[in-house]
Chains A and B, each alone.
Chain A
């Protein structure tokens, strides 16, 4: 039985943003005014736009995780979350079927070695000015036991992704051994 790695990957596009008034949550005051020399030591892409806020990102995660858990699409979901953040994670992220890491690769490899099917929600969005995020995302179903998601499950995931200002596409087993 060969492993299944299927799902969606895409990239935020600032040109696809819909008009929406958001709570003023994009500030991040970790640096004092006289500490702005510190960002000079950091490695972020100044040209990359902030496309969505923490609020919109967490709302997206909440919709996606709610859908995946309520519809029983996956019994274990790995989610990438990077700090700092300006608001708390939505309650669905605290579900015992969700495990949160900074990077999903090592944990996903461990679960593959153990033969455990899981969904990887891996978004690396630039959410504050100095973030090194690249605005890309991938939502992959990983099944070492060879199970595929059915079309209804894929459609439900795709519907939630469609709420993002983003281009995305489906693929299956793009690079065997990588995801």
Chain B
């Protein structure tokens, strides 16, 4: 079974991005993400690097011109020497769709750096608390994944087998998502599932459909919904409490328009975890 190795998960609160002018916002983010890319590239991991930035909450701030994502990606490229692209199209599941296009189009580039950036620079109430999913927490989550070396040609060994994406019907989205969970976990029996954080009322039905599945706890009460960072926070917390060892996870995100993704990942003794505010 193809899984991507977790080299590093680094999670910070986004308060360092609050209340800034847009130029300063871009500079602070460049510093943060550029540093992550530089550290990853100096960690002597062979196999080439690619960097993608995604977000759920940075939507209107971009398309209404408060800041221009191209300015951010170009600055990070200038600082790190590595091209980088931004997407927010699949909302919280964007990271999964970025991983999918990478594994399909550039399977030889083995190091995938994903920056999941959520912040609320304009202080919009919707992005702090809304009727659809309750509280939102904002994090900058930096994930360094490494795909396995492909042995031979053909699909059985292709790294793109690690990722599954789907689209649920938005009018029955949680029901559809529960079916996707059951279907995907059935083909990943040795994995622990990490899914998004939901309010209790949304979680109830999902829990019932996860009988017999090993899954990580919902941390909504502690963090709120962390958008695309949820599964990475869960895995990071699991590793931080149990210690880094060999373990497989199915990291999943789900978006309000129904997009969902499942990525098979594994930790080992060398996986590095850093959660701001946690020992």
- CB within 8 Å of B: which residues of A? 30-32, 35, 38-39, 41-44, 76, 81-85, 87-89, 91, 94, 96, 99-103, 105-107, 109-111, 114, 116, 130-133
Contact = CB atoms under 8 A, between A and B. Distances in A.
Contact of A101 (B85, B105, B122): B85
B65 A43 contact: yes
B197 interface: no
29 contacts: A30-B60, A30-B124, A39-B64, A43-B66, A83-B59, A83-B60, A83-B88, A88-B257, A89-B89, A96-B104, A96-B160, A100-B90, A101-B86, A101-B87, A102-B69, A102-B70, A102-B87, A103-B70, A105-B70, A106-B73, A106-B84, A106-B85, A109-B83, A110-B85, A110-B106, A114-B106, A130-B60, A130-B64, A132-B65
Interface string B34-68: 00000000000000001000000001101111100
Contacts of B87: 81, 100-102
A116 B165 CA distance: 24
B258 A88 contact: yes
A55 to B, nearest CB: 14
A111 B97 CA distance: 17
B251 to A, nearest CB: 19
Contacts of A81: 87, 89
B157 interface: no
A53 to B, nearest CB: 15
Nearest to B76: A106
A42 B65 contact: yes
A38 B258 CA distance: 28
Contacts, number: 110
A150 B14 CA distance: 50
Contact of B63 (A87, A94, A109, A133): A133
B19 interface: no
A72 B204 CA distance: 45
A135 to B, nearest CB: 13
B209 interface: no
A102 B69 CA distance: 8
B257 A131 contact: no
Contacts of A107: 83, 85
Given A41-B122, A103-B73, A132-B65, 18 more contacts: A30-B124, A31-B124, A35-B125, A43-B65, A81-B87, A83-B63, A83-B88, A84-B59, A89-B257, A96-B100, A99-B101, A101-B86, A102-B88, A105-B70, A109-B83, A110-B85, A131-B63, A132-B64
Contacts of B100: 96
Contacts of B106: 110, 114
Given A32-B125, A42-B66, A103 B85 contact: yes
B118 to A, nearest CB: 13
B124 A38 contact: yes
B105 A44 contact: no
Among B77, B89, B90, residue most surrounded by chain A Cβ atoms (within 10 Å): B89
A130 B66 CA distance: 11
A103 B67 CA distance: 13
Contact of A84 (B50, B63, B104, B105): B63
